[in-house]
């Protein structure tokens, strides 16, 4: 294959070497055939066409990485186009968050200094002009049937449709009606403009599909200029053609719409609106990810019923949620590359996404210590009120990043699970009589514990060996199995830590007629008061790190403030789900 991988500035995304797929094969063929060799234009122009009616989710990330990734790899360009033809459901809020999400993922619609940010609503005049042309050419008519009659006469999969009594109305009459529809003379639903194709077609989408409807609604961009709006199936192909898109890539459910996609572009091209070659539609399988739902409607339900705290709740599979959770753009790009592009539906396991995050963060995330479920450890023979300096590497494989500083003193915080009064077999952490190393500190020997009146352990006691400090010669004389993390009660910083898990208990929460609302994981969020090492007092929101033993975390971009950090767990260190 001709694998032109020049970076043309359409993106600042770093990507691994592209893996071939059926779309790349198609593009390679088109390039060999010179299909889209047009003066001064890239031979690959793709677009990402969201409707601004909600927040983007992980499925959209697949489409974004695919469209922008192909443009990058073939020195082409990718447009961001808002398919904004449903004024009642759309809003500027969604436009803003979608732009933000695309940029955050590492892509840009600015190509060599030109902004390729488009709105279908910018084409309303041209789309209307084409509609008038179609009427004149006998390819469209105004239908005045009631909605109920229109539905009955459309037929179904086993029954052909019946022609509307208005189908053969004179073009001049249709034109007059369309103009009066546009002028606001009619109420919603009184008339509709339809393409004149074939009411008996086995493809329902070709049974004279509606192309313009009356909607007396305010549009977030065109205001009250229009009271007729073009249908999605009409707008989408023509917008592609207006923008000189070459490969129009969408999900498989649009396969049945392709004949109309081709029909409308061909007819408009015959009318002189477009030059050949025209865009071609290709379909790929949508992303289905286990343990999440990826439908704007269902996600909206979670938000509106307060199951989660907004669209950017870290449990949400929205891009804003995944971002707040702590995922990196690089990990999402890696994920999209890894899952590939095919034409067959399947499920991708959620752990694949987590694996990509670990792969991205392991080499670069600074290490730190956090004690999530604290228990007091008292070193009885430690000098009173003395705090001795300790250091640990910021990253075990990157000494050039330097060290972090903290102290050890008489009273420490350790994890509750690191002490057992009566150890089970194979337990080598703290129990009376056992020695362990306090990581980057000293070796201690456990002597016992204090309990409250209910028998709960409230403090553990030990003695330390003053010559065992990590990094000193004496340390080599101590061989112990346990190596515990801890923080000094005298200098540790208290922090809120949010432990996130799968939002659903079922791998396919909305498959096979299941009610996803009954399959919520009640433990998807656990909040703990933790102690973290003192250096984290300066951590800024959005900074990611690895808490040793606990996983990858991020300082929450909304609630974390310098000096009072709040951490989200992105994922644990190993995949332990369901094991």
**Nearest CB to ligand ATP, comparing residues 91 and 559:** 91
Stretch that binds ligand ATP, among 43-51, 68-76, 169-177, 505-513 (CB under 6 A): 43-51
* Whether 529 is catalytic: no
> Smallest distance, Å, CB 348 to ligand ATP?
10
- Tell which one of 11, 24, 44, 59 touches ligand ATP (CB under 6 A): 59
Q: Does 50 bind ligand ATP (CB under 6 A)?
A: yes
Binding residues for ATP: 51-53, 57-63, 251, 286-287
Indicate the Cα dihedral angle 172, 176, 178, 184, nearest 10°. 180
**335, exposed or middle or buried, with CB in 10 Å at 0-12, 13-18, 19+?**
buried
Q: Which residue has the tokens 């420490």?
A: 412
Q: CA 246, CA 27: separation in Å to the nearest integer?
A: 9
> Smallest distance, Å, CB 296 to ligand ATP?
4
Size of interface with ligand ATP, in residues (CB under 6 A): 14
Segment holding 251, helix H or strand E = strand 247-251
* Whether 296 is catalytic: yes
> Smallest distance, Å, CB 232 to ligand ATP?
8
- Which one from 51, 129, 132, 548 is the annotated catalytic residue? 51
- Tell which one of 24, 30, 45, 49 touches ligand ATP (CB under 6 A): 49
* Residues from 188 through 227 that contact ligand ATP (CB under 6 A): none
Shortest-Cβ-distance residue relative to ligand ATP:
59
**Nearest CB to ligand ATP, comparing residues 255 and 538:** 255
- Tell which one of 4, 28, 51, 542 touches ligand ATP (CB under 6 A): 51
**Bridge partner list, 142:** 193
**Nearest CB to ligand ATP, comparing residues 294 and 434:** 294
Q: How far apart are the first and last CA of the chain?
A: 42
Binding residues for L-glutamine: 83, 232
Segment holding 22, helix H or strand E = helix 22-33
SS (H, E, C) 185-214: CCCCCCCEEEECCCCCCCCHHHCCCEEEEE
- Tell which one of 10, 43, 63, 571 touches ligand ATP (CB under 6 A): 63
Residue 169: Cβ within 10 Å count: 16
* Residues from 290 through 309 that contact ligand ATP (CB under 6 A): 294-296
Q: Does 251 bind ligand ATP (CB under 6 A)?
A: yes
> Smallest distance, Å, CB 319 to ligand ATP?
12
Report residue 498: phi and psi, to 5°. -105, 115
* Residues 6 or more apart in contact with residue 237 via CB below 8 angstroms: 248, 260, 261, 262, 264, 265, 279, 281
Q: CA 208, CA 37: separation in Å to the nearest integer?
A: 34
The residue ranges that bind ligand ATP (CB under 6 A) are 49-51, 59-60, 62-63, 250-251, 286-287, 294-296
Q: Which residues are catalytic?
A: 51, 286, 296
């Amino acid at each position: 294959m001709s694998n032109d991988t020049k970076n043309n500035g359409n993106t600042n995304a770093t990507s691994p070497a592209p893996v071939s797929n059926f779309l790349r094969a198609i593009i390679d063929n088109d390039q060999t055939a010179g299909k889209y060799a047009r003066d001064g234009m890239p031979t690959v122009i793709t677009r990402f066409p969201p409707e601004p009616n909600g927040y983007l989710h992980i499925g959209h990330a697949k489409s974004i990485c695919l469209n922008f990734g192909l443009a990058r790899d073939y020195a082409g360009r990718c447009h961001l186009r808002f398919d904004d033809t449903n004024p009642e459901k759309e809003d500027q809020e969604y436009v803003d968050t979608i732009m933000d999400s695309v940029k955050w993922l590492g892509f840009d619609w600015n190509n060599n200094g030109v902004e390729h940010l488009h709105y279908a609503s910018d084409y309303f005049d041209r789309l209307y002009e084409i509609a008038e042309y179609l009427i004149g050419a006998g390819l469209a008519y105004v239908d005045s049937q009631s909605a109920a009659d229109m539905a009955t006469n459309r037929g179904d999969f086993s029954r052909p449709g019946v022609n509307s009594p208005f189908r053969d109305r004179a073009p001049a009459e249709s034109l007059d009606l369309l103009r009066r529809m546009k002028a606001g003379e009619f109420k919603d639903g009184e008339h509709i403009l339809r393409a004149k194709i074939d009411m008996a077609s086995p493809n329902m989408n070709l049974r004279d599909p509606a192309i313009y409807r009356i909607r007396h609604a305010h549009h977030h961009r065109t205001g009250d200029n229009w009271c007729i709006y073009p249908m999605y199936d009409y707008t989408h192909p023509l917008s592609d053609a207006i923008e000189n898109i070459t490969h129009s890539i969408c999900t498989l459910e649009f396969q049945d719409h392709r004949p109309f996609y081709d029909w409308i572009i061909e007819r408009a091209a015959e009318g002189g609106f477009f030059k050949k070659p025209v865009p071609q539609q290709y379909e790929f399988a949508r992303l289905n990810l286990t343990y999440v739902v990826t439908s704007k409607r269902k996600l909206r339900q979670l938000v509106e019923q307060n199951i989660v705290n907004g669209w950017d709740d870290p449990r949400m599979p929205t891009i804003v949620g995944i971002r707040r959770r702590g995922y990196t753009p690089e990990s999402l790009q890696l994920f999209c590359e890894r899952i590939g592009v095919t034409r067959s539906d399947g499920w991708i396991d959620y752990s694949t996404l987590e694996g990509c995050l670990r792969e991205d963060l392991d080499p670069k995330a600074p290490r730190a210590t956090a004690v999530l479920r604290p228990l007091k450890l008292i070193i009885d023979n430690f000098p009173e009120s003395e705090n001795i300096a300790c250091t640990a590497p910021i990253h075990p494989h990157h000494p050039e990043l330097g060290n972090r500083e903290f102290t050890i003193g008489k009273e420490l915080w350790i994890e509750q699970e690191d002490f057992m009064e009566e150890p089970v077999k194979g337990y080598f952490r703290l129990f009376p009589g056992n020695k362990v190393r306090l990581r980057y500190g000293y070796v201690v020997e456990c002597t016992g514990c204090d309990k409250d009146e209910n028998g709960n352990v409230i403090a553990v006691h030990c003695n330390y060996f003053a010559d065992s400090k990590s990094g000193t010669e004496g340390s080599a004389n101590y061989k112990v199995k346990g190596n515990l993390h801890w923080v000094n009660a005298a200098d540790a910083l208290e922090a809120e830590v949010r432990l996130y898990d799968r939002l659903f208990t079922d791998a396919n929460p909305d498959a096979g007629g299941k009610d996803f609302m009954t399959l919520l994981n009640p433990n998807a969020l656990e909040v703990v008061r933790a102690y973290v090492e003192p250096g984290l007092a300066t951590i800024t929101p959005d900074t990611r790190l690895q808490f040793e033993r606990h996983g990858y975390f991020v300082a929450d971009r909304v609630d974390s403030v310098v000096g009072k950090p709040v951490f989200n767990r992105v994922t644990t260190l190993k995949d332990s789900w369901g094991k």
